[in-house]
Amino acid sequence: MAWQYPKHTCGHSGERYQAYGHHSGRERQLAAIEAHPCPDCRKAAADQVAAQAGLPLLAGSPKQIAWASDIRERALRLLAEDRAAKYRPELSAKWWIENRHSLGAA
């Protein structure tokens, strides 16, 4: 067990977290986290993309919004236009995350 302090691609330092397992596994986990922008920067980018696409902004934590925005974008792209229109107004990041498998965007 060790504390990890990731440095994201956006330049921000991430929240410290406790990693478990063998040293090489912890290093892989840290590298995977560091390969992405921080949740706040991902949320800001997702909000900007949503605004440009005419989608409502999602509600939730920055981590939920970043993840749910990716799911929503994939789901709306994969669904037929008539089904996609039904889901477009959904505002809850939690809803998108919980329903990702039924939407085919897992």
Tens digit of pLDDT for each residue in 13-41?
877 778 888 888 888 988 988 899 988 89
- CB neighbourhood size of 65 (10 A): 26
Report CA-CA distances (Å) from 6 to 3, 14, 26, 66, 77: 10, 5, 11, 18, 32
| Cα–Cα dist 26/45, whole Å | 28
Boundaries of domain holding 69? 39-98
Q: Per the domain annotation, does 105 fall within a domain?
A: no
Same domain flag for 16 and 45: no
User: How many structural domains is the chain composed of?
Assistant: 2
Q: Spell out the alpha helix ranges (H) of 5-61.
A: 23-34, 39-53
Q: Per the domain annotation, does 19 fall within a domain?
A: yes
Report CA-CA distances (Å) from 31 to 25, 34, 35, 64, 73: 10, 5, 6, 21, 25
For 28-85, write each residue's pLDDT tens digit: 988 988 899 988 898 899 899 899 988 999 999 988 999 999 999 999 888 887 788 8
Same domain flag for 22 and 59: no
